Amino acid sequence: MSPTTTDEEHPGPGTLVKDQELWLEDGNIVIVANGSHAFRVLKSLLSRVSPVLKDIFEKEKCKPDRIVEGCPSIPFYDSPTDVRHFLRTVILGGPGSLRQASLPFATLASIIRIAHKYEATALLKDASSRLESFLIPRPGHWLEQAALPWEARWDMGQQQCGISFEPSDAVSAVNLALPSMLDMPLMLPLAFYLCSLADNALILRHGVEREDEPDVRDVLGDADYTRCFLAIPKLSQQCHASVGRILYAAMSEAFAGCRLNRTCKDRLREMFVYHARDEGPCLVHDLFVRLDRRTSPPAAFVQYKDTLCQPCLDRLLALSEEECAKMRQKLPEFFHLDVEGWQS
Ligand SMILES: [Zn+2]
């Protein structure tokens, strides 16, 4: 970005910064974000994607006193970073189209905020559906791959949905899903769950800085902070309890397929007792992961798995996958969310 001064006839702030990339030679309108950062772009392209902007441009025709380098200028009371991502997508990517195979979450969030405000409907739909595909589990969704370790699943999810998403992005994702923005409650259970995985718990209370804007933070509202704060110990407790339920189910029913004359049942009972006494840590992200793929496999499983015959081990893992599905079903409850259509 290079500093420039406004035309003498412009009554606005003394110094503007021209955007290095979005200062088009043939641009015919100047957008000034937050009173300081200027973009010269094509009015027709923006009018085509946003009726609100079209209307603003029409009205600005009557104000010849706001001229920057020969173009009418329009103030946007939005962050320059958000405006840049929005304009870049419209001007360089074409209306209503996100052409990039993968986008950082922060870029997508910027586009959503501006497209929502100025009612750029097609672009908003394009951007929000990408976020939706990451956060709303549907058949084949990354969260459902119980037989994959969490890290592999996380990579898979980002590739599936074309988003590079950091766990710390979850706080901003919650705010985008709220009624004041996208109003997509089905995004909330997984977004809150990802908040609860944050390495730095202070993120939950103090939020995260916006990209390139150290003075702007996305913060959870008090009620949403409380949801996460109360859910984390419950999720951790369920991580442990779910193993007990799997082992209990395995040892409770006779299994005709056992190759060791049904003696595996005794091993499973020993595993159950062993696990009940185990006070080892449980990682919250292991809640939806099959026993053998957990980052921190239960000690009882590690200790006894090789003593089971293959059919009994396979059955145990199948029960574990069923338990993961039940936990996914209950995810909204952990956060006291009443979400219609979750996992239906
Ligand atoms: Zn067996």
Query: Is 114 in the same domain as 149?
Result: yes
Q: Do 21 and 5 share a structural domain?
A: yes
**pLDDT tens readout for residues 256-315:** 889 888 789 999 999 999 999 998 778 899 999 999 999 989 999 999 999 999 999 999
Identify whether the C-beta of residue 321 lies closer than 8 Å to the C-beta of residue 146. Answer: yes
**How does DSSP classify residue 185?**
G
Tell how many helices (H) and how many strands (E) occur in the chain.
13, 10
Clarify whether residues 139 and 203 are in a common domain.
yes
Which of 158, 192, 220 is the endpoint of a domain? 220
Instruction: Kindly give the distance from the C-alpha atom of residue 168 to the centroid of ligand 1, in angstroms, as a whole number.
Output: 43
Report the number of distinct structural domains present in the chain: 3
Give residue 263 CA to ligand 1 midpoint distance, Å: 6
pLDDT at 95 over 60: no
- 45 and 29 in a common domain: yes
> For residue 165, what are the CA distances in angstroms to 108, 242, 294?
10, 28, 21
User: The dihedral of CA 252, 254, 260, 266: what is its sign?
Assistant: positive
User: Residue 3: beta bridge partners?
Assistant: 17
- Calculate how far, in angstroms, residue 251's C-alpha sits from the geometric centre of ligand 1: 11
Domain membership flag for residue 96: yes
SS3 182: coil
Of 186, 220, 254, the one marking the end of a domain is 220
Compute the average pLDDT of residues 243-254: 92
pLDDT for the residue 342: 92
Report the separation in Å between the CA atom of 316 and the middle of ligand 1, taken as the mean of its atom positions.
10
> Residue 193 domain-assigned?
yes
Q: How far apart are CA 42 and CA 23, in angstroms?
A: 10
Query: 97 falls in which pLDDT band (50, 70, 90)?
Result: low
Q: How far is the CA of 310 from the centre of ligand 1 (A)?
A: 7
- Ligand 1 centroid – CA 321 distance (Å): 19
Mean pLDDT of 243-251: 96
Q: Mark whether 96 and 186 lie in a shared domain.
A: yes
Average pLDDT for the chain:
89
Rounded-to-10 torsion of CA 84, 85, 88, 93 = -170
In a domain, 44, yes or no: yes
**What does 16-49 look like in DSSP terms, one character per residue?**
EEEEEEEE-TT--EEEEETTTEEEEE-HHHHHHH
Please tell me whether residues 115 and 135 are part of one structural domain. yes
Among 27, 48, 77, residue at a domain's last position: 77
Question: Which range has the worst mean pLDDT, 4-8, 41-45, 242-246, 312-316?
Answer: 4-8
Q: Are 162 and 196 members of one domain? A: yes
What is the phi/psi pair of residue 296, to 5°?
Answer: -125, 85
Integer Cα distance of 209 and 207 in angstroms: 7
Q: How large is the average pLDDT for residues 31-53?
A: 93
Residue 99 and residue 210 share a domain: yes
**Is residue 231's pLDDT more than 50?**
yes
From ligand 1's centre to the CA of 269, what distance in Å?
12
Range of the structural domain that residue 263 is part of: 232-334
